[in-house]
Structure 1
Amino acid sequence: MLRLPFVLLANLLLGLRLLLGLPFRLVAARRRPAWVRFRLAGSLPYRPGPGPRLRLKGMKVEPATVTSLEAFGRALRVLAADPRVEGILLEVEGLALTDARREALLALLADFQAAGKRVVSWAVMVDTNEYPVLGAADEVLLAPMGRVELVGYAAEATVLGEAFGRVGIHAHFARRGDYKTAPEFFTDGKVSDIQRQTLETFLDERFGVLVEALRRSRGKTPEEAKALIDAGPYSAKRALEAGLVDGLVHQADLGAHLGLEGRKQDGGDEAPVPTFGAYLATHAFPPVRWLPLRRRPRLAVVDVTGIIVPGSGGAGRFAAADTVVKALRKAGRDPRAKAVVLAVNSPGGSGLASEQLLEAVKRVAKQKPVIAYVDQVCASGGYMAAIGAREIWSAPHAVVGSIGVFIGKFEYGGLLEKLGVQRTTLTRGENAAFGSNSRGFTPHERAALEREVEESYQSFLELVAQARGRAKEEIHERAEGRVYSGLRARDAGLVDRIGGFEEVCRHAMEEARQPSDDFEIVRYGDRTRSKLSLLKLLSGAAHPTLYAFCMASWSLQGSFGTSRRMD
């Protein structure tokens, strides 16, 4: 009841502000722009996050910058309904999107174009990941000094075994699954055929998507599209000749190119194309987001981002089990949170920590619907956490699977000897020095190691089989470290559906019997950032530790332009 008077007061103030500005907007309505400008930059979150309460000087965001896909979609719907609007101008600058977010952005643009509006795109320079967005426009423009770095995709696999051996470090690991190639990073002297085949499969899929994008947007045959990619990169002149862009225009001339009135600014340059904020100022009654009298239902989003490690800590490059578990418990206890989306973007990590997350997810799933969603990577220990959800959704080309485990340690005895350090290990008990870094495993210790890794692998298979409703033998055929794209993981029965983040959120609320688009999203967990390398994670263990980690996902993320952010 205490909420009602505050909501009424806030809506009254919004109404008064709308009323007081009406005369000015009526005057400005005569100059309502036919074109509106948006700037696409950065990673474009699905939903806007909490902004800083205080912006320091020099941190001001360019007014045309799109802050989230949700906000961009709302703006496009308003513009699509206005018969006086001809279209939008997109300025593409440093866009770093995952495949899933790029597809969501392209879907918004396609809906806008289907309403009879035009999209004109412009950039100074774009790369392979940005070009599909630039090329989706009805007219593609480039700065005369610009470049189109369209060259395709590459993935680099690295192994350190020989380098470690030269300095006296030896990695001793046991694994289950021929496709569980993570230990090869530390043990092998060359990239294995299996690792190569895994990366090439993903490269083939992503390259096919790029070829199809060129075919649709530029009217090319698949062979012509491949030839365009092979002939890159392009200067502005060559891009125009090849048909990758439709014209070369300086930024200051964009307004004139669109046929806008050539009003001059104080500096003598042409006035820029108006932003969406300037457009709203010409509406007599612009759309207003009134505060609802009743609280909107809440959807909880819990992130599992980065390498999964035991303990607590910040987010970013690793997901600390205790921190994520607390976030899950908080989401489960929140009476306003009707459902939970477990947003997994993890290549895995500690086997123990991954099982902690699985148990916590299963507990929350007993209280309310939990849907797991993978935008980029849900592999190994990350997949173990996801199977606790009621359903698993994936982006089409996310990295999924890698069901397998490995365990081991690093031996520094050779390095210590080179440094003149003498160390003698005395034991009582056959496996007392199991975790010693001074030497490798004895035959007795190796046998114990093999037993533990086999037991852990069988346990992993049982957990997945139970969660996916399949026989253990069926899961084994799909496991042994095999890595799938989202589409192939669906066909293999490892995920339930292919979709986007907004679609997953709506489905989660429907599962909670809240079938409405009018809900708020609240993220739970520690969002502060911290860094942790895999080498530090593994070498810092005082005892041989079980890992469920997918090394291939790192190479794949770097090759497709998504390594700038892992959230």
Structure 2
Amino acid sequence: MMLLLVGALSLVACTCGSPPIDPFKADFQDTAVQINLMGSYPETPGSGLNPSPSFIEVREKLRMIRDEPRAKGLLLRLGSSGGDFAQLRDLTALIKQIREREKPVHCHFDRLDNAAYLFAIRACERLTMSPPGALDLVGYASQLIYAAELLENLDVRAEMIAIGKYKSAAETLTEREMPAPTREVLTDILDQYTTDLIDGLKERLGGGDASKLLDEGPFLAKHALDRGLVDELEYLDEAREALKKAAGIDRLSVVPLIEESAPPSLGDLFAMGRQQKLELPEPYLAVVSLRGNILDGARSDSANIYAASVVKRLEELSADPNAKGVLVRISSPGGSALASDLIYRALARLNEKKPVVISIGAVAASGGYYIAAAGREIFAAEESIIGSIGVIGGKLELSALMEKLGVRVETMKRGENSAYMSPLTPFSASEREALERQLRGIYDLFIDRVAEGRGKSREEIEAVAEGRVYTAKQGLPLGMVDRIGGFEEALARALELANLEPKATIRFFPERKDLLTELSELLSVGATPDVQTQALLMSLPTGVRESAEWLALFGSSEGVFARLPYELRIQ
């Protein structure tokens, strides 16, 4: 009974009175601040049932520290990043702004990977590590898994067709080893990332042959200190004292990235039923985050991009006279070709009425880049992965497995190609020809959409297409992005194009759902199992999780995909 009451009342926002809260937990006095940056963060807020911080909230916390006069210095407790280079670039820009306010920024870690270390030496004035810590400065690596032999052993055939020389998404299912075009692309990406890391090391060490250091790693604490990779060996409490001394302050507050909230009381629940939040109309810039696989449908899922839900949101922003412009943050390897085109169209129509600026996160490839092309201007970090203009389609064909299991399949057709996507029969010549014709048509549409969005000729886009993957640094001279820059630069440009002041109101979509709203949706009639599904996916090991997401993609759409050809994880 109580759960039903919670579900019913959680639809109304609570405005219960409460005393002011000091976000620094320092009784509104001057203080040094510590925040913990561990790993990469989702671009969109998670559920109220899983209140982990989003990257939007991390950025907002750093802006608060930058702008708050009572914050006299910053200690970053760092952990390995997972290799999200675009996020690290954004954080570096914000932390440099904090330092420009003459607030010392120190960093401390127990263990770091390559990317997080590069961030630390760019952002921090002082870098220390715990005496028992380790620095995994070993250079970048990427590994791809090829499962053709596994499928053969299971009597499963991957019947896939790719349009584009470099469109190699199917190769993980059809090949036994890495094809030459894939090796060529990954070599270029690894070389760029490695050059960037070596340049950072040279700047830290004042020259020398920094590349040799990568072959010495990983480093224990004393070895790292001897090589000049850190400034001191000390424990966290000692790092706190060093920051307080540098800031000239005797107080330090450990500030969470998202505020912890106490469970609502019964009185709060009843008060929510009586009060509604009054929002006064005012001009604002909308920031829309799109993250994950691009899928068909209208489900609500912070880990994926569902076309119908996104289109609805964009249409609402187009109709809202107070939304003066839109900044779209994309971090997606692509997905359904149909869903990508639907979102592209909605963005292009929105861009006709008000400025749309694109900020690319770690990746906007294939369908992700398809969407990005609709923006007026595209910003991306040097390391952001873009391109992969191509499509693939096909199926996993199970007839041999069915026969082995003693399952007999009888097919009755009215139409030469009526069962062409059935996994129970192989492609006939006519069915393969029909699928290839369909893929070619979608590829041509992809080329046309990108040419239209980027203001280029079809021939210019064809020259950079064929499914080839680029970094934004490579793509800039090719006209695939407009500027090298992170979220902050894209935000400033979006505000400028929208004729809004730098301090104008910014509204983020999707908004974080509170616990009561999540419970209401979870318990409502017809609730989808998204929360449970995401919890299951996140519990899987990394390699298995990506495979499960691929299977979800196969099951969600019409079988034609505009997606990055592999899970690119370089760290």
TM-score range, shorter chain: 0.7 to 0.9
Question: Which of 130, 133, 147 pairs up with 1:143?
Answer: 130
1:39 equivalent to 2:25? Answer no
Give the direction of change, closer, same or farther, for the CA distance of 1:139–1:509 in structure 2 (3 Å limit).
Answer: closer
Question: Which deviates more, 132-141 or 191-200?
Answer: 132-141
Is the contact made by 1:46 and 1:70 (CA closer than 8 Å) also made in structure 2? Answer: no
Deviation at 1:386, TM superposition (A): 1.9
Question: Which residue pairs with 1:248 in the alignment?
Answer: 233
- Work out the CA distance in 1 between the residues paired with 2:111 and 2:339: 43
Question: Which of 408, 424, 431 pairs up with 2:417?
Answer: 431
Question: Where in structure 2 are the equivalents of 1:148-163 lying within 5 Å?
Answer: 148-163=135-150
Is the contact made by 1:410 and 1:539 (CA closer than 8 Å) also made in structure 2? Answer: no
Give the direction of change, closer, same or farther, for the CA distance of 1:428–1:158 in structure 2 (3 Å limit).
Answer: same
1:181 equivalent to 2:168? Answer yes
User: SS of 1:508's equivalent?
Assistant: helix
Give the aligned residue type for 1:551: P
Give per-residue Cα distances to partners, 1:14-40, cap 9 Å, x unaligned.
7xx99xxxxx97xx7xxx66x554433
Question: Which residue pairs with 2:63 in the alignment?
Answer: 73
Question: Which of 535, 548, 559 pairs up with 2:562?
Answer: 548
- Work out the CA distance in 2 between the residues paired with 1:448 and 1:303: 36
Question: Which deviates more, 94-103 or 169-178?
Answer: 94-103
- TM-score, scaled to structure 1: 0.78
- Work out the CA distance in 2 between the residues paired with 1:393 and 1:217: 28
User: SS of 2:363's equivalent?
Assistant: strand
1:378 equivalent to 2:364? Answer yes
- Work out the CA distance in 1 between the residues paired with 2:83 and 2:503: 24
Is the contact made by 1:323 and 1:525 (CA closer than 8 Å) also made in structure 2? Answer: no
Deviation at 1:67, TM superposition (A): 5.6
Question: Which residue pairs with 2:189 in the alignment?
Answer: 202
Give the direction of change, closer, same or farther, for the CA distance of 1:258–1:523 in structure 2 (3 Å limit).
Answer: closer
1:477 equivalent to 2:491? Answer no
Gaps of 5+ in 1: 1-9, 19-23, 262-270, 278-292, 561-567
Deviation at 1:347, TM superposition (A): 1.1
User: SS of 1:144's equivalent?
Assistant: strand
Is the contact made by 1:175 and 1:405 (CA closer than 8 Å) also made in structure 2? Answer: yes
Give per-residue Cα distances to partners, 1:416-471, cap 9 Å, x unaligned.
11111121323333222312322221122222222222222112112222222222
Deviation at 1:388, TM superposition (A): 2.0
Gaps of 5+ in 2: 1-15, 256-278, 514-529, 538-547
Is the contact made by 1:177 and 1:481 (CA closer than 8 Å) also made in structure 2? Answer: yes
Deviation at 1:156, TM superposition (A): 1.1
Question: Which deviates more, 109-118 or 202-211?
Answer: 109-118
Question: Which deviates more, 100-109 or 187-196?
Answer: 100-109
Deviation at 1:245, TM superposition (A): 1.5
Give the aligned residue type for 2:65: A
* Count of residues paired in the alignment: 501
Question: Which residue pairs with 2:224 in the alignment?
Answer: 239
- TM-score, scaled to structure 2: 0.78
- Work out the CA distance in 2 between the residues paired with 1:50 and 1:162: 38
Is the contact made by 2:240 and 2:252 (CA closer than 8 Å) also made in structure 1? Answer: no
Give the direction of change, closer, same or farther, for the CA distance of 1:259–1:170 in structure 2 (3 Å limit).
Answer: closer
Is the contact made by 1:380 and 1:550 (CA closer than 8 Å) also made in structure 2? Answer: yes
- Work out the CA distance in 2 between the residues paired with 1:113 and 1:124: 23
Is the contact made by 1:46 and 1:501 (CA closer than 8 Å) also made in structure 2? Answer: no
Give the aligned residue type for 2:560: L
Deviation at 1:389, TM superposition (A): 2.1
Question: Which residue pairs with 2:284 in the alignment?
Answer: 298
Give per-residue Cα distances to partners, 1:357-404, cap 9 Å, x unaligned.
112112222221111221111111111122222222222211111111
C-alpha RMSD of matched pairs (Å)? 3.8
Give the direction of change, closer, same or farther, for the CA distance of 1:339–1:456 in structure 2 (3 Å limit).
Answer: same
- Work out the CA distance in 2 between the residues paired with 1:510 and 1:476: 32
- Work out the CA distance in 2 between the residues paired with 1:88 and 1:319: 35
Is the contact made by 1:307 and 1:318 (CA closer than 8 Å) also made in structure 2? Answer: yes
Question: Which residue pairs with 1:461 in the alignment?
Answer: 447
Is the contact made by 1:122 and 1:134 (CA closer than 8 Å) also made in structure 2? Answer: no
- Work out the CA distance in 2 between the residues paired with 1:483 and 1:494: 11
User: SS of 1:407's equivalent?
Assistant: strand
User: SS of 2:414's equivalent?
Assistant: coil
Question: Which of 465, 473, 484 pairs up with 1:487?
Answer: 473
Give per-residue Cα distances to partners, 1:215-268, cap 9 Å, x unaligned.
2223233x2x2122221111112111221122222233345556859xxxxxxx
Is the contact made by 1:150 and 1:233 (CA closer than 8 Å) also made in structure 2? Answer: yes
Give aligned-pair identity as a percent.
32
Give per-residue Cα distances to partners, 1:79-126, cap 9 Å, x unaligned.
6x99xx6x5433224555732222232233334445555433222222
Question: Which residue pairs with 1:504 in the alignment?
Answer: 490
1:215 equivalent to 2:202? Answer yes
Give per-residue Cα distances to partners, 1:491-530, cap 9 Å, x unaligned.
1112222222122122112212224333222214797755
Is the contact made by 1:326 and 1:525 (CA closer than 8 Å) also made in structure 2? Answer: no
User: SS of 2:38's equivalent?
Assistant: strand
Deviation at 1:183, TM superposition (A): 1.3
Is the contact made by 2:43 and 2:289 (CA closer than 8 Å) also made in structure 1? Answer: no
Is the contact made by 1:396 and 1:498 (CA closer than 8 Å) also made in structure 2? Answer: yes
Give the direction of change, closer, same or farther, for the CA distance of 1:51–1:276 in structure 2 (3 Å limit).
Answer: farther
Give the aligned residue type for 1:68: V
Give per-residue Cα distances to partners, 1:519-558, cap 9 Å, x unaligned.
2222147977554734423553796x21111123x2x2x2
- Work out the CA distance in 2 between the residues paired with 1:77 and 1:178: 50
Question: Which residue pairs with 2:552 in the alignment?
Answer: 537
